[in-house]
Amino acid sequence: MVVATFTDSRGVRHQISMIELKVAHQIAPPSQDLSQTLTDLIELNLLSEEARRLGYDQHPAALDERARRAVEHFVIDDFHETHRLETLPPQFIEQSTQKNLGLFKHPELRRGTHLLIKPMGSEKTPMTEEQEETLKPVIDRARADLIAAPIQSSAELEERLKRYQPWLPEGYEVIFEDLGRFSRHGPFIPSFNEACFAIDEAPRLVGPTLTPFGFHFIWIEEVIPPLVTSDEEIEEIVRRRLLPEVRGFEWRKLLTRLFKQQSE
């Protein structure tokens, strides 16, 4: 955040006095109590009753905030009129759209987790036929366990890791991973993806599925239908989400410039 910092409390008071004087002559009606307005702003936006009771309202940070709120109070209407949905820079719209395109358009997706029972190091060197044969009795035992005591969530699948690890000979392991959201043509190998997309209802357990890494028991948490949003809708959504960010960015630039001018 770009915020001016005043270390000299006398300087802050001087800036507040200048703001009061300027507003009194140019904006505020003669009957308005500007000192009280500034006090109200700081009380409503910064300090609790206890903080004021302890005298924190004269802390340099509080005085800095009072000056900031005073400027905001008197220029915010014109500022918001300058920075509107229609005036957002096109490059901001394009960058934000590309960055968040997956929120507006995507194919059918799956979301899930899995247990992978594997030889150690199989992420670098594919599992051999001998290692596959060594694992098969453990996989059969794990499948029978999951049929006898079905899981109901990803958390329950993760708990099975503790049960299955002692069943493995030395040099083998069980790992649990969150797969996140993924498409049929996403980051995983085809045999894994095909197993996940062979079902169209969730939640459901899939597997064991054999891949070069080992044997997977996959918990499909969610089946997410494809999403298609028109370009016009996307632009409208992006503009509305961007507007507060752009205003905040431009507001901080304005404050920095105003405080710099007042201190010169």
4/80: higher pLDDT: 80
Q: Tell me the chain's radius of gyration from C-alpha atoms.
A: 31
Matching residue, tokens 């709120």: 69
Which pLDDT score, from 0 to 100, does residue 179 have?
94
Per-residue pLDDT tens digits for 223-233: 999 988 888 88
Share of the chain above pLDDT 90, in %: 41
Per-residue pLDDT tens digits for 73-113: 555 656 666 667 777 778 888 888 888 887 888 899 999 99
Determine phi and psi for 24, rounding to 5 degrees.
-60, -35
120/248: higher pLDDT: 120
Which pLDDT score, from 0 to 100, does residue 62 have?
63
Mean of per-residue pLDDT scores for the chain: 77
Whether residue 130 is predicted with pLDDT greater than 90 in this model: the reply is: yes
Average pLDDT rounded to a whole number, residues 200-221: 94
- Mention the CATH class of domain 106-224: alpha beta
Whether residue 264 is predicted with pLDDT greater than 70 in this model: the reply is: no
User: Hey, what are 214's tokens?
Assistant: 């080992």
126/7: higher pLDDT: 126
Which pLDDT score, from 0 to 100, does residue 247 have?
76
Which pLDDT score, from 0 to 100, does residue 217 have?
97
Share of the chain above pLDDT 70, in %: 66
The candidate with the shortest Cα–Cα distance to 79, out of 259, 258, 247, 240, is 247
Instruction: Give pTM, 2 decimals.
Output: 0.57
Which pLDDT score, from 0 to 100, does residue 73 have?
58
User: Hey, what are 24's tokens?
Assistant: 């009194």
Highest mean pLDDT pick, 55-69, 182-196, 246-260: 182-196
86/220: higher pLDDT: 220
Which pLDDT score, from 0 to 100, does residue 28 have?
41
Which pLDDT score, from 0 to 100, does residue 81 have?
66
Domain ranges of the chain: 9-95+237-263, 106-224
Confidence of residue 260 (pLDDT cuts 50, 70, 90): confident
Which pLDDT score, from 0 to 100, does residue 31 have?
43
Which pLDDT score, from 0 to 100, does residue 229 have?
85
Per-residue pLDDT tens digits for 160-198: 999 999 999 999 999 999 999 999 988 899 999 999 999
